[in-house]
Amino acid sequence: MRVLVAGGDGFCGWPTALYLSVRGHEVFIADNMSRRGWDEELGTNSLTRISTLEDRVARWKELTGREIGVAAGDLTDERYVYETIDRWRPEALVHFAEQRAAPYSMIDRSHAVFTQVNNVVGTLNVIFAIGEVVPDCHLIKLGTMGEYGTPNIDIEEGYIEIEHNGRKDTLPYPKQPGSFYHLSKVHDSHNIMFGCKVWGIRATDLNQGVVYNVETEETASDPVLTNRYDYDGIFGTALNRFIAQAASGSEITVYGEGGQTRGFIDIRDTVRCIELAANNPAERGEFRVFNQFTEQWSVLQLARLVEKVARALDLDPKLVHLDNPRVEQEAHYYKAANTRLMDLGLKPHLLDEETVERLLLTAMENRDHIHPETFAPRVDWRRPHYNK
């Protein structure tokens, strides 16, 4: 099918574009390259060296004979969105094109406003264009498990049956987002659900857990295709940060006591989940939700796993606890459903010592590209800043 990957230059978007392309789909990428610009703004970088998008798609064509179309532009520009969708007429639109870091959204007022405008307006433009130009197109939207927060009850997949005053109804699961970024995802979910209801568009909301690992078979096949590896205190996940800290001889820093528990997923399973959603589209007017994660880990469990693997590689990291800069529960109940993608055929890769060792060896090979000064938490979530 024809698939448009919005945000196709990013950490999830690039491997998804290659994965779908090699499996015979006609793939197009829409991206404004803003993720690369945020590195310049923050003084951060990918641990791996990443090529330009132009070089990436050219190399992919040399290796496979498959062409990936590219249109540079911003989803907040409604003219660009309409023209791009009208030009390529996608049968599926995979939407990764959002500012995706909670810490970035909490830096100050301007970063919070940018995150919400960029994410919410961009998604609104997409659903309007789909509804008007390609109403049969299946929107596959990357959401986040962070929309749910950490409720003291089991987390269902998008909906929950409620009984109140003797009556029952199935309603969207209550949302308790923990940042302005996560709030933007909640707004997206509501807007897409409304678009399905009133215009009959079809959409799958993939509430993804924290992604680990870096490479897929496709991105690892050639140095020009290498995926990005974020490790800093703003865009890097806890696991990536711990690995880079161990590789560089720095302390492994755990926020608070480390009891914060979340859902996790391997990047190889992320691209497979996109394929499963695309091959099994939602019905017209259906807004369905899949919880896209494969296992649960606490922050402290991850830190200890990295510490164990690092010591086996003759590294000697020290695990320390920092005051938690975030406003979050550190000891909490967490049990989330994740059966719908499994029912469609997902066979997950699970996090183990071998995966951590592979990531750690990659970090050690690129040790000269690690900037330890970017590890420290730079965002204070506990008080508002107008503009920094």
Per-residue pLDDT of the chain (388 residues; tens, 9 = 90+): 999 999 999 999 999 999 999 999 999 999 999 999 999 999 999 999 999 999 999 999 999 999 999 999 999 999 999 999 999 999 999 999 999 999 999 999 999 999 999 999 999 999 999 999 999 999 999 999 999 999 999 999 999 999 999 999 999 999 999 999 999 999 999 999 999 999 999 999 999 999 999 999 999 999 999 999 999 999 999 999 999 999 999 999 999 999 999 999 999 999 999 999 999 999 999 999 999 999 999 999 999 999 999 999 999 999 999 999 999 999 999 999 999 999 999 999 999 999 999 999 999 999 999 999 999 999 999 999 999 8
- What are the sequence ranges of the domains in the chain? 2-374
pLDDT at 388: 80
Reference 117, options 173, 71, 145, 76; nearest CA is 76
Phi, psi of 163 (to 5 degrees): -115, 125
* pTM, full prediction: 0.98
Q: Are strands 92-95 and 2-6 parallel, antiparallel or unpaired?
A: parallel
Query: What are the residue numbers of the active site?
Result: 144, 181, 185
Report yes or no: 352 and 307 within 8 Å, Cβ to Cβ.
no
DSSP string, 313-379: TT----EEEE---S---SS----B---HHHHTT-------HHHHHHHHHHHHHTGGG--GGGSS---
Phi, psi of 212 (to 5 degrees): -125, 175
d(C-alpha 248, C-alpha 246), whole Å: 6
Instruction: Dig out the tokens for 79 from the structure.
Output: 């003219």
DSSP reduced 3-state for 26: strand
Partners of 377 in beta bridges? none
Q: Out of 3.40.50.360, 3.40.50.2300, 3.40.50.720, 2.60.40.2230, select the CATH number for domain 2-374.
A: 3.40.50.720
pLDDT at 101: 97
First to last CA, the chain: 45
pLDDT at 307: 98
d(C-alpha 359, C-alpha 109), whole Å: 35
DSSP conformation class of 23: T
Report yes or no: 252 and 246 within 8 Å, Cβ to Cβ.
yes
